[in-house]
Structure 1
Amino acid sequence: MRSPLAALWTGALVLGLVLPAAAHHGWRWTSGNNIELTGIIQDAKLGNPHGVLTVQADAETWTVEVGQPWRNDRAGLKDGDLAPGVEATFIGEPSADLEDRLLKAERIRIGERLYELYPGRS
C-alpha cells in the first residue's frame, strides 16, 4: 500500500507535467488582443497538435501557430498555401510576452483571400 505522502508527490508530479502543456495549447499564454503580422513563410511544419510556421516579418523571425490539419482544411487552406516562400498576413493573438515573437493565428490572408481558422473569435 502506498503512503499518502507518495500519492501526493505523484499527483504533484503529474500536474507539473500536464498543466504547462495544457496552458500552451489553449489561449492562456496569449495577450488577449489581436495584431496583424505580414511576412514570408520560411519553414512550415503542419500537423498535430497544430501547425507551426517560421515567418520572416521585416527584420524579425516569428513563430506562428496555425490550426490542426482538420481546422486548416475547414478554413479552405490547400496544400502549398502555407509553404516556404508564401507571403501572408496573420491576424491573431501574440504571446503575452512580445519578446517571444510567438503568434496564434485566428485568420490568415494570402493575396485577396481570407481564411478563418477560428470563425467568430475576435
Structure 2
Amino acid sequence: MPQLRFIFLLSTAVFAVFLATSTAQAHHGWAWATDEEFEITGVIQSVRLGNPHGEVTIRADGGDWVVEVGQPWRNERVGLTREMLSEGREITVHGHRSAREGERLVKAERVVIDGQDFNLYPGRAS
C-alpha cells in the first residue's frame, strides 16, 4: 500500500509540473501571437519593466494596448532605457498582435521612439 501511495504522489507531482510548464509555454514565446506583421503608434500610459519581459501600456486607436517589450537584458542590449519608455512619449511598435479575438496585446519586435529604432529581435524580420 505505501508503494501505491508513493506512485500516486509522484504521478500527481509530475502532472502538476507538466501543467505549470505547458501553461507558461502557452504565453511566453510567440505561439500566442499571429504570424502577420502588425504596427501601432500610441502614447505611453504606464510601464512595468522586468522579467519575464517588460510591459508598456499605450493608448492608441481609442483604447489601451499592452505591448510586451524585451527582457531587461534584451532592452539593455539595444539601448532601450526606462527613460525612453516614460509616460507621455509617443512610441511606434512593430511586431505581432495576439491571436485571441479582441485582445489588445502586442509582442514587440522593434520599437521606434523619437525616430530611433530599437530592434529587440535582430534575427527576426520586422
Alpha-carbon distance in structure 2 between the residues aligned to 1:100 and 1:58 = 13
In the TM superposition, residue 108 of structure 1 has moved relative to its aligned partner by 0.2
Counterpart for residue 78 of structure 1 = 81
TM-score, normalised via structure 1 length: 0.91
Structure 1 residues 15-26: aligned runs within 5 Å: 15-26=18-29
Identify which of 100, 108, 111 aligns with 1:97.
100
Counterpart for residue 53 of structure 1 = 56
- CA deviations over 1:50-82 (Å, ceiling 9, x no partner): 101111002021110000111111111133111
Alpha-carbon distance in structure 1 between the residues aligned to 2:124 and 2:101 = 21
In the TM superposition, residue 39 of structure 1 has moved relative to its aligned partner by 0.3
Counterpart for residue 65 of structure 1 = 68
Alpha-carbon distance in structure 1 between the residues aligned to 2:65 and 2:15 = 34
**Partner amino acid, structure 2, of 1:100:** E
Aligned residue pairs total 122
Structure having the higher Rg: 2
Alpha-carbon distance in structure 1 between the residues aligned to 2:47 and 2:26 = 23
Runs of 5+ unmatched residues, structure 1: none
Runs of 4+ aligned residues of structure 1 deviating over 6 Å after TM superposition are none
Alpha-carbon distance in structure 2 between the residues aligned to 1:68 and 1:28 = 17
1:113 aligns with 2:116: yes
Larger mean Cα displacement after TM superposition, 6-15 or 26-35: 6-15
Q: Matched residues, percent identical?
A: 45
Runs of 5+ unmatched residues, structure 2: none
Counterpart for residue 7 of structure 1 = 10
TM-score, normalised via structure 2 length: 0.88
Q: Alignment RMSD, CA only?
A: 1.4
In the TM superposition, residue 98 of structure 1 has moved relative to its aligned partner by 4.0
* 3-state SS, counterpart of residue 32 of structure 1: coil
Alpha-carbon distance in structure 1 between the residues aligned to 2:56 and 2:98 = 15
* 3-state SS, counterpart of residue 122 of structure 2: coil
